[in-house]
RNA sequence: GCGCCCGUAGCUCAGUCGGAUAGAGCGUCUGCCUUCUAAGCAGAGGGUCGGGGGUUCGAAUCCCUCCGGGCGCGCCA
């Protein structure tokens, strides 16, 4: 609601300035620091003053006089040496908020642009850990935000089922454990197979460390897997598929769903790389190095591909600033395969996967997986996106740049511009937490503010362990408060709280912040947390539940039968009604925050908003006892306000993937 | 060496296009449960926005420089 008025204000100002002063200015707007200065302001006259060489207040005065009526804005005022401050029509805003609060996302138009969001992407060789949870939480919330704004979105979770990490675990099963394919198949059917692989993976790292010659096993194994040969490939397939199922189950616990699992095995088998290689060669995007250290490799020039102005000088080593795409032995690097995959996402490769059903989420939604031949009918039209977001941690930004440079070098400039690396910093552990996990810290590590998670070393907090701990902690709190509630209900509440705490914790930090994980912070249910926000919703609902118990016939009519418009205007009028007005304003600002979050690709903005709204409501809840309100019109007004806040808060939490329980 | 990110209250972090008096949580201290649930509320205390220079009517925000920290830069992924 607020953003509608804001953009109307901007546009009107811009047009007036263009007409009257023949200047084309992007109009900035902001929230004034205090409510007495209005709800919306623009400092545009300061900018205009420079161009016109006149005093800002004078221009502001002129504009305020000439602008005329703007829908939703009651009046304009000039203040603070040249600001244009707008005062909104409070009752109109309030009724608009009542009418629209909590509305479902707009359904995407059939011709709406299509977005692909790739996230999660966990190597299928071990259990998911806390770092993977950040990736999935960010990706999933961003998907929710995009859908909320009416975009078509396809969620892909790329499975590197033929990579070294899977090969390492296969080495463990074959060469350390001496297992056959049938043995591994039996193990994979057991519970927590991802946990046993987690341990095995760490032991394989030690196994290599004890005798460097053993690393040769990795290469052989990898080759067998890539070429789909014998028991090795079978074991890799069994392991990776079983672990992908574990990952889906883990992510389902926090409400994360996918549309498609594209796998590296199909990228190989369906020769995606060959198609990309042809294009790259034809367009001269890569060249065969004939001399120097890269002799025999196909390389991509990074400086020219990235569109750098200055070509490499004569004194510059031609081997520098290139990226090897095809090794001298003819095998393609990971980046090469990624370029092919990126081209496919945009429908530029000229090839497609086959698809079959892989899993059905609890919601009934089907997850499809790529396959090389056969395939099932009924698959949606995957790929062919207009916009691609790759949710990958910041350590891979160089490689993401190479991929985009490859797309650009093929002449697909528009697609290169629409290839977004949704980058974020990793989750590390505080030294205290690492020690708590049984990890021996070096003196150096103990001094640091955080310690890197390492799957290879087996150092990390496993996602399911964390979820279990959160649910147990939440359950303890629920049991204290609701001894009479049935078991299943208590469990459901504890689950909702655990997810609320976890997802809020992972999403409240902006992407560029390294999260130093600590159980104490993550298990907190107080202060700036998910449960705090959920609790505000529960409080609001309790008012209505109690009201219904007292007066079963009472129906809150949101169409404004009660109270009278004059009464609403009076209750919202400054200064006495400022508290109510401030709440209505905040409740009506969800759209503004969603726009900002999508624009900045920053779900943290929504976490911040949800907390602010919850906090404002808690404050209001404490100050105004609604059910004991004697003035019937005022009571209804307070109920209407509460209802609007509750719906907007539920909506904001839903964008974060957090559900509010009925009780807490 | 080159590239990217970060440095804001004791701690952990917000601060979106440069805008009016720099905010929140935690922790500390003081109050508030006979009330629509205290997973809460109110109050107190806490700042050289890493240092220095510059641009600007205006800088935590932009530019330069220095200091401190993280990450990347492989015929690994």
Contact indicator for A386, A115 with CB cutoff of 8 Å: yes
DSSP A450: -
- How far does the CA of A258 sit from the C1' of B19, in Å? 43
Q: Are residues A205 and A317 in the same domain?
A: no
Residue A289 CA, nucleotide B2 C1', distance (Å): 23
Q: CA angle at residue A487 from A481 to A489, to 5 degrees?
A: 75
- Is residue A280 one of the residues assigned to a domain? yes
Token readout for A581 is 């007005």
Query: Which nucleotides in chain B have some atom under 7 angstroms from a protein Cβ?
Result: 4-6, 12-17, 19-21, 23-27, 35-42, 57-58, 69-77
Spatial separation of the C-alpha atoms in residues A420 and A385, rounded to whole Å: 12
pLDDT at A195 over 90: yes
Mean per-residue pLDDT over chain A, rounded: 92
Q: A35 in a domain, yes or no?
A: yes
- What residues pair up with A153 in beta bridges, in sequence order? A115
A492's CB contacts (< 8 A; 6+ apart) are A661
Mean pLDDT of A114-137: 97
Alpha-helical regions (H) of A296-393: 302-305, 334-345
A152-156/A114-118 β-pairing: parallel
pLDDT at A318: 55
Report the 10 Å Cβ neighbour count for A450.
Answer: 19
Helix axes A530-550, A604-623, angle to 10 degrees: 40
How many angstroms separate the CA of A39 from the C1' of B54?
35
SS3 of A588-611: the string is: CCHHHHHHHHHHHCCCHHHHHHHH
Same domain, A388 and A339: yes
Q: Which nucleotide is nearest to A474 (CA to C1')?
A: B39
Provide the CA A149 to C1' B38 distance, Å, integer: 38
Q: What is the pLDDT of residue A437?
A: 86
Number of domains in chain A: 3
Give the model's pLDDT for residue A306. 39
Is A572 contained in some domain? no
Which residues 6+ apart lie within 8 Å of A444 measured at CB? none
Q: Do A277 and A225 have their domain in common? A: no
| Strand A427-429 with A451-452, pairing | antiparallel
Contacts within 8 Å (CB) and 24+ apart, A59-65: A60/A84, A62/A20, A63/A13, A63/A16, A63/A17, A63/A20
CA separation (Å) from A80 to A30, A41, A53, A304?
A: 14, 11, 19, 50
Are A253 and A272 found together in one domain?
no
Q: Which nucleotide is nearest to A535 (CA to C1')?
A: B39
Which ranges of A42-115 does DSSP label H, i.e. alpha helix? 44-52, 56-66, 90-100
Cβ of A282: how many Cβ atoms within 10 Å? 9
Q: Which of A31, A64, A88 is the last residue of a domain?
A: A88
The pLDDT of residue A558: 53
Which nucleotide lies at the shortest CA–C1' distance from A33? B20
CA of A187 to C1' of B51 (A): 60
Per the structure, the complete domain to which residue A187 belongs is given by 164-257
Of all nucleotides, the one whose C1′ comes closest to residue A593's CA is B16
Which pLDDT value is given to residue A111? Answer: 84
Tell whether A279 and A387 lie within a shared domain.
yes
- Measured CA A625 to C1' B42 distance, in angstroms: 16
Which of A133, A141, A130, A241 has its CA nearest to residue A184?
A241
Domain stop point among A422, A452, A472: A422
Nucleotide closest in space to A531 (CA vs C1'): B39
Query: In this structure, are A292 and A408 located in the same domain?
Result: yes
Which nucleotide comes closest to A623 if you measure CA to C1'? B41
Query: CA of A244 vs C1' of B3, distance in Å?
Result: 35
Last residue of a domain, one of A37, A71, A88: A88
Q: Which nucleotide is nearest to A449 (CA to C1')?
A: B69
CA-CA distance, A93 to A644, in Å (whole number)? Answer: 12
Q: By the 8 A CB rule, do A61 and A17 touch?
A: no
What is the pLDDT, as a whole number, of residue A1?
A: 86
Q: What is the ipTM of this complex?
A: 0.96
Instruction: Using a pLDDT cut of 70, give the percent of chain A over it.
Output: 96
Residues A59 and A168 in one domain: no
Q: What is the DSSP string of A1-34?
A: -HHHHHHHHHHHHHHHHHHHH----PPP-B--SS
Could you tell me if residue A454 is inside a domain? Answer: no
The string of pLDDT tens digits covering residues A346-383 is 999 999 999 999 999 999 999 999 999 989 999 999 99
Query: For the domain that residue A302 is a member of, what is the CATH number?
Result: 3.40.50.620
Q: What is the pLDDT of residues A85-101, one digit of tens each?
A: 999 999 999 999 999 88
Cα(A262)–Cα(A382) distance, rounded to whole angstroms? 10
Is residue A285 very low, low, confident or very high in pLDDT (cuts 50, 70, 90)?
A: very high
Question: Worst-scoring range by mean pLDDT, A55-59, A213-217, A302-306, A355-359?
Answer: A302-306
Chain-centroid distance of CA A211 in Å reads: 42
Cβ neighbours of residue A534 closer than 8 Å, sequence gap 6 or more: A496, A497, A500, A653, A658, A659, A660, A661, A664
Å: A341 CA to B76 C1': 19
| Closest residue to B76 (CA, C1′) | A164
CA nearest A534: which of A477, A496, A495, A505?
A496
The whole-number Å distance from A514's CA to B51's C1' is 24
Looking at per-residue pLDDT, the higher value among A204 and A319 belongs to: A204
Tokens, residue A364: 């009934």
Say if residues A53 and A124 touch (Cβ distance below 8 Å).
Answer: no
Please tell me the predicted confidence (pLDDT) of residue A561: 53
CATH number of residue A60's parent domain: 3.30.1360.70
Q: Nearest to residue A605, comparing CAs of A655, A533, A658, A659? A: A655
User: What is the distance between the alpha carbons of residues A157 and A248, in angstroms, rounded to a whole number?
Assistant: 10
Average pLDDT in the A125-133 region?
96
Q: Determine the angle formed by the axes of helices A130-148 and A463-481, rounding to 10 degrees.
A: 70
Residue A563 lies in a domain: no
- The three-state secondary structure class of A429 is strand
Question: Which has the minimum average pLDDT: A54-63, A177-186, A302-311, A616-625?
Answer: A302-311
Is residue A458, in this structure, part of any structural domain at all? no
Residues A276 and A418 in one domain: yes
Closest residue to B75 measured CA to C1′ = A327
Residue A80 lies in a domain: yes
Q: Are strands A354-360 and A260-261 parallel, antiparallel or unpaired?
A: unpaired
- Looking at residue A159, the DSSP 8-state letter turns out to be B
Does residue A207 or residue A442 have the better pLDDT? A207
Q: How far is the CA of A102 from the C1' of B9 (A)?
A: 36
Residue nearest to nucleotide B71 (CA to C1'): A395
Give the mean model confidence (pLDDT) for residues A505-533.
95
B4 C1' closest Cα residue: A397
Average pLDDT over residues A185-191: 96
Q: A45 and A80: one domain?
A: yes
Q: What is the pLDDT of residue A317?
A: 53
Q: How far is CA A413 from the centre of its chain?
A: 26
Quick one: tokens of A275?
């198609």
Residue pLDDT, tens place only, A297-355: 999 988 644 333 333 343 445 566 789 999 998 889 999 999 999 999 999 999 999 99
Of A180-194, A425-439, A648-662, the least confident: A425-439
* Residue closest to sugar C1' of B5 by CA: A512
What pLDDT does residue A625 have? Answer: 93
Whether the link from the prior residue into A575 is cis, omega within 30° of 0, is yes
- The rounded distance, in Å, linking the Cα atoms of A469 and A123 is 24
Q: What is the spatial distance, in angstroms and rounded to an integer, between the CA atom of A614 and the C1' atom of B42?
A: 17
Note whether residue A321 is domain-resident: yes
3-state secondary structure of A576: coil
Q: A336 and A411: one domain? A: yes
- Interatomic distance A621 CA / B44 C1' (Å): 23
Q: Residue A229's pLDDT is what?
A: 86
Please check whether residues A241 and A272 belong to one and the same domain.
no
Give the nucleotide at minimum CA-to-C1' distance from A550: B36
Q: What is the pLDDT of residue A132?
A: 97
What SS3 state is found at A263? strand
Q: Which residue is closest, via its CA, to the C1' of B14?
A: A608
Distance A1 CA to B51 C1' (A): 44
What is the pLDDT at residue A575? Answer: 85
Bridge partner residues of A421 (DSSP): A390
Q: pTM here?
A: 0.95
Nucleotide nearest A29, CA–C1', reads B17
Nucleotide minimizing C1' to CA distance for residue A322 = B73
Chain centre to alpha carbon of residue A223: 35
Check whether residue A274 and residue A414 sit in a common domain: yes
Nucleotide nearest to A534 in CA–C1' terms: B39
A394-CA/B6-C1' distance, Å: 13
């Amino acid at each position: 609601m607020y953003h509608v008025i804001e953009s109307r204000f901007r546009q009107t100002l811009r047009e007036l300035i263009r007409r009257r002063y023949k200047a084309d200015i992007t109009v900035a707007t902001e929230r004034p620091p205090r409510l007495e200065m209005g709800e919306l302001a623009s400092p545009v006259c300061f900018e205009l003053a420079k161009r016109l060489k006149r005093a800002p207040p004078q221009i502001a005065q002129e504009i305020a006089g000439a602008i005329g009526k703007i829908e939703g804005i009651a009046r304009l005022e000039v203040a603070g040496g040249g600001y244009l401050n707008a005062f909104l029509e409070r009752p109109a805003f309030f009724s608009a908020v009542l009418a629209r609060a909590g509305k479902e996302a707009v359904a995407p138009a059939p011709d709406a642009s299509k977005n692909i969001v790739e996230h999660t992407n966990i190597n299928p060789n071990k259990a998911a850990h806390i770092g993977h949870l950040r990736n999935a939480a960010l990706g999933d919330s961003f998907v929710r935000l995009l859908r909320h704004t009416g975009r078509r979105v396809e969620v892909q979770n790329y499975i590197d089922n033929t990579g070294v990490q899977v090969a390492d675990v296969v080495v463990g099963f074959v060469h350390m454990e001496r297992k056959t394919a049938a043995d591994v198949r039996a193990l994979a059917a057991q519970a927590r197979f991802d946990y046993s692989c987690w341990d095995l993976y760490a032991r394989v790292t030690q196994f290599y460390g004890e005798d460097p010659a053993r690393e040769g096993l990795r290469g052989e194994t990898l080759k067998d897997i890539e070429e789909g040969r014998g028991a090795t490939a079978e074991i890799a397939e069994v392991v990776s598929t079983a672990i992908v199922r574990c990952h889906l189950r883990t992510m389902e616990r926090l409400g994360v769903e996918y549309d498609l699992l594209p796998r590296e095995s199909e990228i190989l088998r369906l020769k995606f790389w060959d198609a990309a290689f042809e294009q790259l060669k034809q367009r001269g995007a890569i060249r065969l190095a004939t001399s120097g250290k890269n002799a025999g490799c196909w390389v991509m020039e990074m400086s020219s591909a990235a569109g750098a102005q200055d070509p490499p000088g004569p004194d510059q080593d031609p081997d520098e600033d290139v990226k090897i795409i095809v090794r001298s032995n003819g095998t393609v690097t990971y980046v090469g395969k990624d370029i092919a995959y990126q081209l496919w996402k945009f429908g530029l490769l000229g090839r497609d996967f086959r698809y079959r059903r892989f899993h059905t989420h609890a919601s009934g939604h089907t997850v499809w997986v790529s396959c090389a031949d056969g395939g099932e009918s009924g698959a949606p039209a995957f790929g062919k996106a207009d916009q691609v977001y790759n949710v990958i941690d910041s350590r891979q930004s160089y490689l993401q740049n190479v991929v985009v440079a490859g797309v650009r070098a093929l002449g697909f400039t528009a697609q290169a511009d629409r290839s977004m690396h949704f980058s974020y910093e990793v989750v590390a552990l505080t030294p205290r937490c690492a020690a708590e996990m049984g990890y021996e810290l070096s003196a150096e590590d103990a001094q640091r503010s955080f310690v890197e998670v390492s799957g290879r070393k087996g150092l990390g907090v496993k996602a399911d362990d964390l979820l279990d701990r959160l649910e147990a902690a939440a359950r303890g709190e629920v049991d204290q408060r609701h001894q009479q509630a049935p078991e299943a209900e208590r469990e459901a509440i504890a689950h909702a709280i655990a997810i609320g705490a976890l997802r809020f914790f992972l999403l409240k930090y902006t992407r560029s912040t390294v999260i130093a994980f600590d159980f104490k912070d993550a298990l907190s249910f107080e202060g700036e947390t998910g449960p705090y926000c959920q609790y505000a919703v529960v409080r609001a609902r309790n008012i209505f539940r109690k009201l219904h118990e007292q007066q079963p016939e009472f129906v809150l009519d949101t169409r404004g039968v009660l109270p009278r418009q004059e009464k609403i205007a009076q209750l919202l009028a400054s200064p006495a009604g400022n508290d109510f007005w401030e709440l209505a304003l905040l409740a009506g600002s969800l759209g503004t925050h969603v726009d900002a979050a999508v624009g900045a690709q920053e779900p943290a903005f929504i976490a911040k908003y949800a907390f602010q709204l919850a906090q404002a409501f808690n404050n209001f809840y404490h100050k105004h006892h609604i059910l004991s309100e004697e003035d019937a019109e005022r009571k209804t007004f307070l109920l209407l306000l509460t209802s609007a806040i509750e719906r907007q808060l539920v909506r904001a939490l839903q964008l974060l993937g957090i559900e509010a329980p009925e009780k807490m």
